[in-house]
Structure 1
């Protein structure tokens, strides 16, 4: 076995070891992953202030304070708004119940010939009442488990405190850590790793910052437009649709479905329904032809099917943390795949023409002879 082969096996083993350790530490990586994302978002602003001559710790403090103020102001604005929208939704639940019982279920039974007996709200209420004892037992078990898992609540509180602390230190020491990792890399692969890191940074920066802006813009547009239409829960539906827009068509489907039900319950006329349809059509055009090209661009190149698969696979593998990291990880994997394709297209395996295959030549000659025979038969057929 050559030294080059041994080195490649060593690098593969090291990579698998790192993946295995990350998988083992998955339950405790959540605050560090969120902190790393915050540090990544604040990194460019910090570097810009440092280039202007500011001390790095002071630059990090300023950027961190600005991010914290944006977060606090966002909470102060969103919490009362969401609270009012949820209260409005709860107040309208009897209307939704009446619409489902008097309009939706009869329409399903008449037009789609579905057995709506199992969906009858009164029957569902009776089922819940008949099983209220078992539900109480389940609730008691859940409350008992929660009371015995106080350490879990303490762990969550610790994570909330840990995120800003870790984010601050990552922002301050980001360049130093990257330089240290660069010094540890084997010299033979350091240029390749540096190139892939630059490409991954370019793709991630385009995705993270651009996609956050798209989500925010769509949430504001849908919320304002649905409120203008007159929906009492328009802002709530619009914000949910905007937040879910990072998965292609998911925000549109859920937002459009919820808005359609809400407008049918609240107004029940064609005019307001057409306004809701127009709102989401304009939103899709705005996302596809203005927001995504301008804010994200074509730098990522992930197909919508690949995005959906990445989110589902991330959730299956790592839960909420997997969903959080699915698209950034998919973007980095795309960079690696592009690099491997380029390496393959410059390799001998791709460019070597190889020896002529006599069997293939004989088959091609036979095929040409059959084509000539067919052409001759066609030309000799008299025209009528």
Structure 2
């Protein structure tokens, strides 16, 4: 009987994975809405505790999220657009600087033979692609006009996100209560405790780690702009996003910033020192204040596991898999801890220890 239940559970998991893969385009707005509802539920609960109704609290949280999104669209997006255009303008000059200054210096210091880099071929290929990129607006317009149904479907999914988020957020506690009532009575306490651990891990990641990434992006971008780096905002935001993997944001950001400083200022020590100071302050803030305060030690995901989860999720389910990768990996880590505890308490583990002890005592 237990074997049949195990096989049924395994078949249900396989079926669920197949359904997620097949329904991937449809699931994306619902997953984003679920993520927004999960992030907004604590705020609504706090507003309810202060006397607001559930619906009024949801409306207030929606207004807050809308203002944040509007601020990003009005302030951040135009600045990023200007920096991307500036990067596009500087790309040929940066290639010339690499070919004429940086790479010959490295080649001389390392004793490499002449023509080792084959940089002329790389430059030719990149210049051709940059030339083709000038017609990107026309290409996008042609694609939009030729696939208007796909554009309408994309816009429909985008408009569906706030609607689904509103209803999920309004009925969040009711849905959680219904799910709890469906649990087997004998297993309810264990399942609720396990769900609580998963909720703690997910909350630490989704709220804590995202806030850490945002704070680091602000520190890096603001610091690099104060140093005078033209692409400071772009590099700072990139470093903040890469901070989803521990130390990757620091490595990616400081390497990109140092290259940009060398190109813009040459061997001037003050900008180079400024970049080092900015990223040093960012690391000190992350290690001593941001991560202990906002995340703590509750996630328990190794950096290699984070990288593998993101790549595997994107490979299997595309953008939907990227959204699901780290939350699912965090839950799997919680489940694996319990599996490890069950294994340590099982007869299999005890018999292995007893057999090895008997074999060692036997003459």
What TM bracket, shorter-length normalisation? 0.7 to 0.9
Secondary structure of the residue aligned to 2:299 is: coil
Is the Cα contact below 8 Å between 1:105 and 1:116 reproduced in 2?
no
Which residue does the alignment assign to 1:97?
A: 95
Structure number with bigger Rg: 1
Which residue does the alignment assign to 1:342?
A: 341
Unpaired runs of 5+ in structure 2?
A: none
- In 1, Cα distance between the equivalents of 2:9 and 2:140? 46
Which residue does the alignment assign to 1:253?
A: 251
Q: Does 1:36 align with 2:39?
A: no
- CA shift, 1:105, in A, is 3.2
Is the Cα contact below 8 Å between 1:248 and 1:304 reproduced in 2?
yes
Give 2:241's match in structure 1, choosing from 229, 236, 243: 243
Mapping for residues 111-260 of structure 1, pairs under 5 Å: 111-112=109-110, 113=112, 115-116=115-116, 118-120=118-120, 124=124, 128=128, 147-260=145-258
- CA shift, 1:122, in A, is 9.1
- CA shift, 1:109, in A, is 3.7
Greater shift in the superposed pair: 105-114 or 207-216: 105-114
TM-score norm. by structure 2 comes to 0.87
- In 2, Cα distance between the equivalents of 1:204 and 1:59? 23
Is the Cα contact below 8 Å between 1:204 and 1:331 reproduced in 2?
yes
Q: Cα–Cα, structure 1 residues 23 and 188, in superposed 2: closer, same or farther, change >3 Å?
A: farther
TM-score norm. by structure 1 comes to 0.83
Is the Cα contact below 8 Å between 2:313 and 2:321 reproduced in 1?
yes
Greater shift in the superposed pair: 153-162 or 274-283: 274-283
Q: Cα–Cα, structure 1 residues 241 and 359, in superposed 2: closer, same or farther, change >3 Å?
A: closer
Unpaired runs of 5+ in structure 1?
A: 366-384
Is the Cα contact below 8 Å between 1:248 and 1:308 reproduced in 2?
no
CA RMSD of superposed structures (Å): 3.1
- In 2, Cα distance between the equivalents of 1:17 and 1:188? 26
Which residue does the alignment assign to 2:328?
A: 329
Which residue does the alignment assign to 1:287?
A: 286
Secondary structure of the residue aligned to 1:298 is: coil
Is the Cα contact below 8 Å between 2:95 and 2:123 reproduced in 1?
no
- CA shift, 1:145, in A, is 6.0
Q: Cα–Cα, structure 1 residues 232 and 193, in superposed 2: closer, same or farther, change >3 Å?
A: same
- In 2, Cα distance between the equivalents of 1:144 and 1:119? 34
Q: Cα–Cα, structure 1 residues 227 and 357, in superposed 2: closer, same or farther, change >3 Å?
A: closer
RCO (CA 8 Å, sep 6+): is it higher in 1 or 2?
A: 2
- In 1, Cα distance between the equivalents of 2:220 and 2:121? 31
Cα deviations by residue, 1:129-178 (Å, 9 ceiling, x for unpaired): 9xx99x99xx9999876644322222221121111111111101112222
